[in-house]
Structure 1
Amino acid sequence: MATDDTQPADGTVYLVGSGPGDPELLTLKAKRLLEDADIVLHDKLPGPKIIDMLPDDGCIDVGKRAHGDRTPQWEINERLVELAREGKSVVRLKGGDSFVFGRGGEEATYLAEHGVPFEVVPAVTSAVAAPAVAGIPVTHRDHASSVSFVTGHEDPTKPESAVDWGALAATGGTIVVLMGVTRLPLYTEALREAGMDPDTPVALVERATWPGQQVATGTLETIVEARDEVDISPPAVTVIGGVAGTRESVVEFLRNDYTPSDQHSDENTDD
Structure 2
Amino acid sequence: MPALGKVYLIGAGPGAQDLITLRGARLLAQADIVLHDALVTSEMLELCPQAEKISVGKRSGQRSVAQQVINQQLVDCAGRARLVVRLKGGDPMMFGRADEELRALEEAGIEVDIVPGITTALAAAAATKQPLTKRGVARSVGFFTSSTAPEHSEHDAIPETDTLIQYMGGREAIATAERLLAHGHAPDKPVVVIENVSRPDQQIQRMTVAELTQGLGTPHGPVLVMIGEAMRARAQQQP
Equivalent residue number for residue 17 of structure 2? 23
Of the two, which has the highest radius of gyration? 1
Whichever residue aligns with residue 143 of structure 2, its letter is F
Look up the SS of the partner of 1:221 in the other structure.
helix
Look up the SS of the partner of 1:145 in the other structure.
coil
Deviation at 1:225, TM superposition (A): 4.1
Q: Which has the higher helix share?
A: 1
TM-score by length of 2: 0.90
% identical equivalent positions:
36
Q: Which runs of 4+ in 1 moved over 4 A?
A: none
Deviation at 1:137, TM superposition (A): 1.0
After TM superposition, list the pairs within 5 Å mapping 1:10-159 onto structure 2. Answer: 10-55=4-49, 58-64=52-58, 68-153=62-147
Question: CA separation of 1:172/1:115 partners in 2, compared to 1, >3 Å: closer, same or farther?
Answer: closer
Equivalent residue number for residue 212 of structure 1? 201
Report the count of equivalent residues. 236
Report if aligned partners of 1:39, 1:59 keep a CA contact under 8 Å in 2: yes
Q: Which stretches in structure 1 are left out of the alignment for 5+ residues? A: 1-6, 253-262, 264-271
TM-score by length of 1: 0.80
Look up the SS of the partner of 2:216 in the other structure.
helix
Question: CA separation of 1:93/1:111 partners in 2, compared to 1, >3 Å: closer, same or farther?
Answer: same
In the alignment, the residues of structure 2 paired with residue 16 and residue 201 of structure 1 have an alpha-carbon distance, to the nearest angstrom, of 33
C-alpha RMSD over aligned residues? 2.4
Report if aligned partners of 2:32, 2:51 keep a CA contact under 8 Å in 1: no
In the alignment, the residues of structure 2 paired with residue 70 and residue 16 of structure 1 have an alpha-carbon distance, to the nearest angstrom, of 20
Question: CA separation of 1:57/1:36 partners in 2, compared to 1, >3 Å: closer, same or farther?
Answer: closer
In the alignment, the residues of structure 1 paired with residue 51 and residue 42 of structure 2 have an alpha-carbon distance, to the nearest angstrom, of 17
Question: CA separation of 1:122/1:57 partners in 2, compared to 1, >3 Å: closer, same or farther?
Answer: closer
State which drifts further: 42-51 or 208-217.
42-51
Deviation at 1:54, TM superposition (A): 3.7
Q: Which stretches in structure 2 are left out of the alignment for 5+ residues? A: none
Report if aligned partners of 2:25, 2:47 keep a CA contact under 8 Å in 1: no
Report if aligned partners of 1:16, 1:120 keep a CA contact under 8 Å in 2: yes
